[in-house]
Amino acid sequence: MQETLSMLYFWLKAGHIIFMVFWMAGLFILPRQLVYMHPSAPGSAEEALWATRTGQLRKIILTPSLIVTWVLGLTLSVTIGAWSDGWFHAKLFLVLLLTGYHGFMVALSKKMARGERPMEEKRLRLWGEVPALLLALIVVLVVVKPF
């Protein structure tokens, strides 16, 4: 099994990177869509349009990309034996945070689609910066492997 995974390493890595980019693109877009939805009146046609867009983003890009990224990432970690490396544990922690952020934003988008506005627009804009920060830290850990 290990030999087969080793032969597929570069394909697994390419797939992991591709779906991670899709996932991150969705995480960058979702908060922006929520910022655009924020000023629309609850129950309005504009709100319904943004609710449809955020729903499609979640169902077509975000959730499938999250799943494939996790599956390929865990498969890669087994293939290269990363479970004993400190950088991998730090990366895994940050990816868990990113996954939690994903869940938080999905829940927020569903609330906003129902007409709720649980967060001020300015705060929502700040939350939109979280994936960029986590992505930068994750890339440094994977490329530099500082520990």
Return the structure tokens found at 104.
């938080």
Tabulate helix, strand, coil % of the chain (nearest 5). Answer: 85, 0, 15
| Residue 62 CB coordination number (10 Å) | 23
Task: Specify whether the backbone of 86 is left (phi greater than 0), alpha (psi in -120 to 50) or beta.
Answer: alpha
Helices (H) and strands (E) in the chain, counts: 7, 0
91 among annotated binding-site residues: yes
Binding-site residues sit at 16, 91
Binding-site residue ranges for heme? 16, 91
